[in-house]
A and B are shown apart, each in its own frame.
Chain A
Amino acid sequence: MSRSHVGRWALAVFLLTLPAGMAAAAGFRGGELSPPRAAPDLVLKDQDGAAFRLSRQRGQVVLLSFGYTFCPDVCPTTLAELVQARARLGEAARRVRIVFVTVDPERDTAERLREYTRAFGRAFTALTGEAAALAEARKAYGVTAEKRAVKGTAAAYLIDHSAMVHVIDAEGRVRLMFPFGTSVDDMEHDIRLLLRR
C-alpha cells in the first residue's frame, strides 16, 4: 500500500472505532449527558395528594417519564419496562424511584393516578399539578406534549408526547436518557452502573 492509502485506512479505522471506544470508556448503553446537568426541580403533587419535590429525592436514582393514563400503548409499555428493570435490581431496587408526570391534568386527577399506579403494584410515583406547573416541568426537561382532536377515534382527544426516560442520579444530576425502545437489559445495566458510584 502507498503511504496515503495507509493513512486513509488508519483514519477510517480510528473514526469507526471511536464511538465504540467512547461507549466502552463510559460503560453506559443509554444516551449519556456529558457533562451531566443539574436536574431541574419538580414541585408537584403525587397520587396521594402529597407535595413532591424532586430535589428531596437525593440518595435515590430517579427514572423520570412523562405521559398520560388514557394512553394505551406507549406509556404502559414504558412503565412496565421500568418496573421490570427496577425489579431485577433486587435489594438495590429500594434506591431507585420511578416517577411518572402527567401531560394530561384535565383527566389525570390524583385519584385517577392512584388507581393507575395500583395496576403496576404501586411501584411508582405519579405526579400531577396545575397546568402551568406541569408546562414548566415539561419545558425544563425538553418534553413536548401536544393535545390533538383526531378524526376516526371515539377518544375526545389524544396527546402526542416525547417518550424519553430521563435518568437522574443520587446526586440530583440528569445523567442518561433512555429513548423509547431501550431494552430492559440495557436499562438494568445502566441503573446498576449509576448505583455503583
Chain B
Amino acid sequence: MPHVFGASAPAILIALAICAAGRPAVAQQPGGTIIVEGAWARRAPMMGHAMPGHGAAMAKGNGAVYVTLRNPGAEPDTLLSAATDVAHTVELHETIHDAGVMRMRPLPKFAIPAGGQLAMKPGGYHLMLLGLTRELKPGETVRVTLTFEKAGRLAVEAEVR
C-alpha cells in the first residue's frame, strides 16, 4: 500500500491512484483529514446554445454532484471550493424545503464538524455544476477536485447515474 505523505502533490497523485468511482478517498494534510466517499453525479444534458443576458457560459446545462465528507479528526474543517473540467464553475449549494417550496441557496463553504460528516444528497447539500462542457451520461465518471481548508486538495471520481 502506498504511504501517503503530507506534501500535497504526491498526496493528490496517490489519492487518484487508489480512488475508484464511489470508493473512499482521503484528503490529508498535517492540519486535517477528510474521508470522501460515495461520490456520484446526476445525469445531465447539454441544451442548445448560450442565451444572451443569462450568463452566457451558464445557460447550456447544469449538473449536480453528491458526496459524503467525513471528518474523523478533533478539529472542524471546511470545504472551501470545488472544480471540474466538465463545467465552467462549481458552486456549493443547499436545497431548503420550506413548506413544500424548494429553495436553492449558494453557500460560501460547507462546514464539516469534528468527528462528524456532511452528507450531500438530492434535496439537500450538493455541488452545483454550472455551464456543463459536455453531457453527463449514466455510466461515465466525472472528476471533481475538492479543496478543504485544513485537509488540502483531493480529486474524486463521481459516477454518473
Contacts and interface: CB of A to CB of B under 8 A. Distances in A.
A109 B48 CA distance: 10
A118 B55 contact: no
Contacts of B106: 150-153
B147 interface: no
B45 A116 contact: yes
A164 B97 CA distance: 11
A153 B64 contact: no
A115 B44 CA distance: 10
Contact of B91 (A146, A154, A164): A154
Main secondary structure of the interface of A (DSSP, over half): loop
Given A73-B104, A73-B122, A179-B100, A107 B44 contact: no
B67 interface: no
B54 interface: yes
A115 B59 CA distance: 13
Contacts of A73: 42, 64, 93, 95, 104, 122-123, 126, 128
Nearest to B104: A158
Given A72-B63, A154-B130, A118 B45 contact: yes
B48 A74 contact: no
Interface residues of A, number: 37
A155 B58 contact: yes
Contacts of B88: 154
B54 A72 contact: no
B9 interface: no
B45 A72 contact: no
Interface of B: 42-48, 51, 53-55, 58-59, 61-64, 88-89, 91, 93, 95, 97-98, 100-108, 122-123, 126, 128-131, 135, 161
